[in-house]
Amino acid sequence: MEQGRVQGRERSYRKASQRRAEILSRAIELFAERGVGASLRAIGDAIGVTHAALRYYFASRDELLVEVYRRHERLEHEAPEPDAVSAIAVIERSAERNRSIPGLVELYATLTTDALHGTEHPLTRQFVQDRFRQLRAQLAERIRSGQRSGTIAADIDPDDAAALVIAASDGLQLQWLLDPDTVDVRRALTLLERLLPSAPPPGAGEH
């Protein structure tokens, strides 16, 4: 009896968890195609889930948006970049992938702006704050490794440089979304290679 109840509970937990994952995938597709919906209700309408069902799986619009972004990032990072890849290259590749999914760049911009209004969006603020901290730490480590191998000038502060690289990439993607024919994210990011080279300078005297 007791065991049957536990199995039943596990089954229903698995089912709920599958359903939640299903809703998330549909929301990712929706955001990628059409951008971020205004309300939880509008999102539900668009992906064919009742508002009540959506509320059962996600307590708020914030929770859904954060989970969509988190899931997208997890899928993206299934193959992590090798340690030898430079900070600029990591950020360039991520920006390159985002080119094909402008809706998710929009979602990212929405999350960061919501995060600024922290009292109304405490969950989003925590997520965005943690994400920036982790990303800065990760890129600073790649910059330190470049300094150890002599490709990056030793007097550059790795934390400042990490914040700068992330900022440049975020800001350029935003300008690109507003002016896709004028702003070239990759080309502008490549300028940062002069500041944080990913390989030692070619030997002098070569031509």
For a copy of itself, the binding residues (CB under 8 A) are: 35-36, 38, 105-106, 109-110, 112-113, 115-117, 120, 125, 128-129, 132-133, 136, 153, 156-157, 159-161, 163-164, 166-172, 174-175, 177-179, 182-184, 187-189, 191-192, 194-195
Identity of the residue, 57 or 127, whose beta carbon is nearer to a copy of itself in the bound complex: 127
- Choose between 57 and 146: whose C-beta lies nearer to a copy of itself: 146
Backbone angles phi, psi at 48, to 5 degrees: 70, 40
Contacts of 153 (CB under 8 A, 6+ apart): 147
Q: Which pair of structure tokens corresponds to residue 152? A: 């990056």
> Based on CB atoms, which residue is closest to a copy of itself, 78 or 179?
179
Q: Which is nearer to a copy of itself, 45 or 170 (CB)?
A: 170
CA angle 39, 172, 111 (to 5 degrees): 25
**CB-CB contact of 189 with 88 (8 Å):** yes
Specify the residue, 187 or 207, whose C-beta has the smaller distance to a copy of itself: 187
- The CB-of-79 to a copy of itself minimum distance in angstroms stands at 26
The position carrying tokens 């480590």 is: 141
Nearer to a copy of itself, 85 or 163 (CB): 163
Write down the least CB distance from residue 38 to a copy of itself, Å. 7
Closest alpha carbon to 113 in 164, 56, 177, 62: 62
Q: Using CB atoms within 10 A of its CB, is residue 2 exposed (0-12), middle (13-18) or buried (19+)? A: exposed
* Cβ proximity of 68 and 29 under 8 Å: no
Kindly state the smallest distance separating residue 149's Cβ from a copy of itself, in Å. Answer: 19
State in angstroms the smallest separation of the CB of 136 from a copy of itself: 8
Shortest CB 43 distance to a copy of itself, Å? 14
Query: Which has the closest alpha carbon to 64: 74, 72, 54, 73?
Result: 54
Q: How far apart are CB 174 and a copy of itself at their closest, in Å?
A: 6
